[in-house]
Chains A and B, each alone.
Chain A
Amino acid sequence: MKQSIIIIAIFTFSIIKIQAQTPKPGEYRINNSLLKFEGSWIWFNGTDTLKLVLKKEKLHQPPGFAFNFYFDAIVGWYLYKKGNIIIENSLSFANTSYYDGHSSILGGNKNGKETLEGNIKDSKKNKFAAITLTLNASHTSLHWKLNNNEGVRIGKYDHGFSLPKTGILAKE
């Protein structure tokens, strides 16, 4: 009997879990757990500098979807300097919206976790890359990691990055 209850409970939980991930028409999926990623973050290795600004923003689905829905996401801008040479700089747009088209990072976390997963624009390499940003326990540093996205890609593809592949950023 106990076993049956456990099975039913697991089954019910599975259904709830899946259904909860699918947006409904008009739904706004609020995610306040993203607030912990907000702020200005900096990495410096003695010569090179990476500065990151992350903000939570309410977004909506792109055109063409079957219905409208809304969700929170982390939108980011960054400055990367190699010595005194600026490799990439979108920081001057850090006070704009995602829909202004100047942001460089878009990401979210699953189930309120400490790791943000998303995409970062690597303009020099003409591609988007997969980015993960993981907070430490005290939320004072952010572990940065880049990878190429999974999938089939058409045309010449540069597997390298113009940004550091990994790094630890400190909160400013």
Chain B
Amino acid sequence: MKKLLHIFTLFTFSIILWGCKKNTQDVVIAKEVQINVSNQVLKNWLQINGGNFKEGKITIINTTVGSKGINDNKTGNLDWEHAVTYTFKGVSYTKIPFSLSVNQNDTGSVITKFSLVFRFKKDTIEARFKTFTKVADVSDSSTIYAQESYYSLNGELLEAWIYKNKKAYKINKKYLTVANNSNKPIGSRTCKNIPYYTYGPLIAMSDGSFRVMRYTNYTTQCTEDAYVEPEEYDYGGGSYENWDPTPIITDCQGTPDGTATWSNDCNTCIGGTTGITSCPIDTIKNPCIQVDSLATNSLYKAMLDDLKSKTSDIHESGYVYKRNADGSFVPTFIVGKDNAAGIDFEFKEKVDGFIHNHYTGLLSVFSPDDIYAMAVAYTSDKMVNPLTFSIGVVTANGTQYLLMIDDFTKFQQYANNIVTNSTLILYSFIFGSVYGISPTNSNDDNEKLFLQYLQTTNSGLKFFKGNNDFTQWQPKKADDNGNVVNNPCQ
């Protein structure tokens, strides 16, 4: 008897397990339609799960962000013929446009589109009613140009998004709730107001969050005029975890279907509606382009010529210079002490660079102190623009060289090591005693050793060798065998 009871219990348990499995399989069917869902399946799904939307009409209960009102009846038809299916982050969606039975007049440039969006995620189908409102043109990057809201099929506002420039920001849920038809004291008045919100420009905060001025508007039944009360609200950071992230394809200016393109040379958006047709010279990160502009500048060449003519003096000479917007130079001439190698000056303001000479008996390349001076200019923020800053040397040995920053991360580290960590004396020792760079070496030897030194120190500097009349500057490096070879800019 006991045995029979055991068998019966096992049988019953199996039946229960089978039943559970069957329920799971029902859901698996939904997963299958995810691959090739038909409109009829979705229509059937709506008939069962469509909430208040079963009849193709929805009453939006809560306000959306920046909407024109609440408790807004949206009655219309789903345009199944124009259903669009797409995937995002591995999740499939089908969007059915929703046409209002009665056209809603959009004001000015504000256009609102409605749709029903199905999401096929994991083993389930979900659907939400979506409103998408284009608020403004995207050309003003500080303005929220689109708002997007999602409602349950019973009309409850679930999520809202705003778009600014090329990004979407999810609005914190705590700001979605709006009081319904509450009595709000306004000064001495008591009115029955229905609030709705509009928003000002989005402001990025230093901590990564965003703030926006929220205006509480009241479509009031009060006999008085509606009024606007500004409030500041935190939207939190944004992400693209959008329920229906219909892609908005813009150019780098944020203009939909725009033609502006991003230039890595100057880290700037150019073309299209930017008003910029090419990279401004002072924004170009390519040191070769910068140096080419020096090679064609007659005043720069004249200064170098002057320094070359002074290499037979018994003191060093140099120019510290600033540049005007038109590229012209404002130089200050400086002179060192007689028979005292070296030249010194103070930065009274930011400068664009300096050039100097080495007279007879001095190095045919830059000295450690020359590079140190460049590092000080950088660490003490005395460079007008590190992208265009250069130092140069003209020597009695007939050599002429320029240095520019090529890799800012490396140079920053290098400059900090020398200046902040006071390691100049060790750098100088390695320069002279380990690499053997010396006034008694040949030009070629010093050039080769200097390039190897520069590369081993991870200076991030680009080395240019000039011709005699300063009309050409060739970027150089030492290859793996220590030979001097051309070093084209990337």
Contact = CB atoms under 8 A, between A and B. Distances in A.
A71 B417 contact: no
A interface, size bucket? 35 or more
Given A64-B417, A66-B456, A149 B341 contact: yes
Contacts of A147: 340-341
A152 B318 contact: yes
Given A18-B449, A23-B456, A152-B342, A71 B434 contact: yes
Contacts of A156: 344, 346
B367 A151 contact: yes
A109 B424 CA distance: 19
A69 B452 CA distance: 14
B371 to A, nearest CB: 8
Contact of B342 (A29, A106, A119, A148): A148
Given A21-B449, A128-B424, A148-B340, A110 B363 contact: no
Interface in A117-167: 117-119, 121, 128, 147-157, 159
Instruction: Choose among B340, B430, B448 the residue with the greatest number of A CB atoms under 10 Å from its CB.
Output: B430
A158 to B, nearest CB: 10
Contacts of B368: 149, 151
A152 B417 contact: no
Interface in B411-440: 413-414, 417, 421, 423-430, 432-436, 438
B405 interface: no
Interface residues of B, number: 54
B458 A22 contact: no
A117 B421 CA distance: 23
Instruction: Choose among B417, B423, B434, B448 the residue with the greatest number of A CB atoms under 10 Å from its CB.
Output: B434
Instruction: Choose among B340, B380, B425 the residue with the greatest number of A CB atoms under 10 Å from its CB.
Output: B425
Contacts of B482: 18-19, 22
B347 A150 contact: no
Contacts, number: 139
A110 B449 CA distance: 15
Contacts of A21: 434-436, 449
B457 A59 contact: no
Contact of A61 (B343, B376, B425, B430): B430
Interface string B281-316: 000000000000000000000000000000000000
Nearest to A19: B482
Contacts of B345: 152-154
A108 B433 contact: yes
Contact of A62 (B342, B346, B369, B417): B417
Contacts of B427: 62
Contacts of A29: 434
Instruction: Choose among B337, B391, B433, B455 the residue with the greatest number of A CB atoms under 10 Å from its CB.
Output: B433
Nearest to A130: B341
A149 B369 contact: yes
B340 A106 contact: no
Contacts of B436: 21, 110
Nearest to A14: B445
B367 A150 contact: yes
A121 B424 CA distance: 11
23 contacts: A18-B445, A21-B436, A22-B482, A23-B456, A63-B417, A63-B423, A65-B456, A66-B458, A67-B456, A73-B433, A106-B425, A117-B432, A147-B341, A148-B340, A149-B341, A152-B391, A153-B342, A154-B345, A154-B373, A154-B376, A155-B346, A156-B344, A156-B346
Given A147-B340, A149-B368, 9 more contacts: A18-B482, A62-B423, A64-B417, A106-B425, A106-B429, A110-B433, A118-B432, A150-B358, A151-B366
Interface of B: 318, 337, 340-347, 354, 356, 358, 362-363, 366-370, 372-373, 376-377, 380, 382, 391, 413-414, 417, 421, 423-430, 432-436, 438, 445, 448-449, 452, 455-458, 482
Interface of A: 14, 18-19, 21-23, 29, 59, 61-67, 69, 71, 73, 106-110, 117-119, 121, 128, 147-157, 159
